[in-house]
Structure 1
Amino acid sequence: MIRSLMIVAGLLMSLNVMAEKVATLSVQQALLSSKAAEAFRAELQKEFSSEQKQLLDLEAQAKKIQQQLKKGQGTQSKEVTDQQRVQFQKAFGEYQRLGQELQQVQREREQLFLQEMRPKLDAVIRGLIEKDGYDLVLNKQATIYAKPGLDITAKVVELLNKQ
């Protein structure tokens, strides 16, 4: 393990000697910080607001039934308790089903958004590399340490917002 780290450090040092201009970039942060991503999140929230409300209503209903079950333990007849358990299971099952369905649809929409944004992001990055003459751009998440001045994520977001 230590030997591997020393090899990687040695490679990076030799790359640094060859590369005159180095930068780090968080691609995910750049995409998620863009105005397009903000607009997309607002659109999703608006589009799925009724489903979110329905989900919250189901959650509240299940909690209410659960509290009634706890409150009535020992004081209610077995029939009433069994009926409340069935109601709880039905409400909770519907809550889980709707929640999973909503998450799946939102994930699919997010993937489409990312697919649409990727070519724009790639063009912005290539343009920035050419314009500023970067020799090496590293994934920010893969670096252990880099001076804050090497991070070009904010520049990428700014250029992405101009498109």
Structure 2
Amino acid sequence: MTTTTGRLRTATLRDHAELLALWTLLFDDAPPEPWRTHAAAWFARFVGSPGEARFPVIESGGAIVATAIGTLELGVPNPFCAKGRTVRLANVITLPGHRGRGYGTTLVRDVVDWARSIDADRVDLSATPEGHRLYAGLGFTVTSAPRMKFML
């Protein structure tokens, strides 16, 4: 992996269009609406709430080329999450032409550091097979609990 040449910073409300364009790349054949409208409103709500969400970005040449999201989830305290404070890591993406420069690692470390700063118990994520190596290399482990969902 080469050295990161981009600049790490926290996203601002002005970045919403670039972030929505990056998030769209995460979903093959996703319809443009209604999710983009909801995502834009959600981002506007949480971008100014550093205790609830973290939006690190890597900027190169004046454009955002990589991003990730960390959101605080409050749950019932339990033996594996004593305070009930979990950070959900999501939407980790680097534009194809900028991969291999350590941006994903930088972004994940930023969210983990943020999770520590807000006194979270752990960081959870759902990984694609392509992402497993990155996350395992940073200390994430596969759990025995299968992920399930119910669509409403």
- TM class, shorter-chain normalised? under 0.3
Q: Which one has the bigger strand percentage?
A: 2
As a proportion of its length, which structure holds more helix? 1
The higher-RCO structure (CA 8 Å, 6+ apart) is: 1
